[in-house]
Each structure stands twice: as C-alpha cells, then as structure tokens.
Amino acid sequence: RSGGVTRVDLSPPLPQALHAQPLRMDHKTHRQMSRGKLAPEARIDLHGMTLAVAQPVLTRFVMQARADGRRLVLVITGKGRGTGPDAPLPVRPGALRHTVPHWLHMPPLNAAVLQVRPAHRRHGGEGAYYVYLRR
C-alpha cells in the first residue's frame, strides 16, 4: 500500500508470458533447450547491476555472441530481492528479471534474438534466460 492506494499488477507472470509467445525455433531444439540438455555457448551475469549499466552490457554481449556465430546464450539476471513494507517507493522485485526480456524484444537486439525462454533449473531457473540467436 502506498498512500492508501493498492497497486495491482495485471500483467501475466513473466514465465507464462514468455511461453505464450509463438515458437520461432525448431521444436526439437526447443525441447532440448527447455529440458536443460543444450549447454549455453556463452553466459553473462547481470547480478547486482543497475538497469542503466546492464542494458549496454547486455547489448554488447548479445551482438558479440551473434558475431561470433553462437546460437544459445544464457543471461543471468538473478531472481531479485523483495522490498520490505517500509520501502520508500513500491518497486517490482527483480527489476532485471522483468526488464531483460523486454530489451531483448526491442531494437537493436530484436534483430539478433530469435527466442527468449526461462532457463532450466540447472542453468539458473527463474533467475536466468536462454536467448536463442539468429544465424
């Protein structure tokens, strides 16, 4: 509660929203990726970065991975920590976790990214994303 107003988040939970997106990669590769059978060819850990720092770092990483011919990369965001009830401003926990998929679907990254899915538990689960890159 903030100033007598309750904020209600009407957006679907992030994993559900990502799974609702149409599949743009072949089913066999997607199945292997979803089961954690495909090893990411590169990874980046954005833990502890602010949104302002993380966005250019992510952009450089994805563009370089694509230039290097990599197809599957892992982006680790962390799950985010919740704010206490005494926090001065209501903040959605896990700012990176919620913002990174949006960045990946906006220019210039959308030209490089084919698919974004939550990672398998062995690769970070809710705190990481598989990013499948275009050729």
Residue 128, domain member (yes or no):
yes
Residue 5, domain member (yes or no):
no
| pLDDT value of position 21 | 75
Distance CA 103, CA 110 (A): 8
Average pLDDT (48-72) is 97
Given a cut of 70, whether residue 11 has pLDDT beyond it is no
Distance CA 58, CA 66 (A): 12
| pLDDT value of position 82 | 61
Q: Which residue has the tokens 């929203």?
A: 17
Residue 1, domain member (yes or no):
no
Residue type, position 93, single letter? P
Residue 95, domain member (yes or no):
yes
Q: Is the pTM of this model over 0.85?
A: no
Average pLDDT (40-66) is 97
Given a cut of 60, whether residue 42 has pLDDT beyond it is yes
Residue type, position 76, single letter? I
Instruction: Provide the domain limits for residue 126.
Output: 14-133
pLDDT tens column, 68-117: 999 999 999 998 766 555 656 655 568 999 999 999 999 999 999 999 99
Q: Count the Cβ atoms, other than its own, within 10 Å of residue 1.
A: 8
| pLDDT value of position 90 | 57
Residue 66, domain member (yes or no):
yes
Query: Which CATH number is 43's domain given?
Result: 3.30.1370.110
The tally of domains found in the chain comes to 1
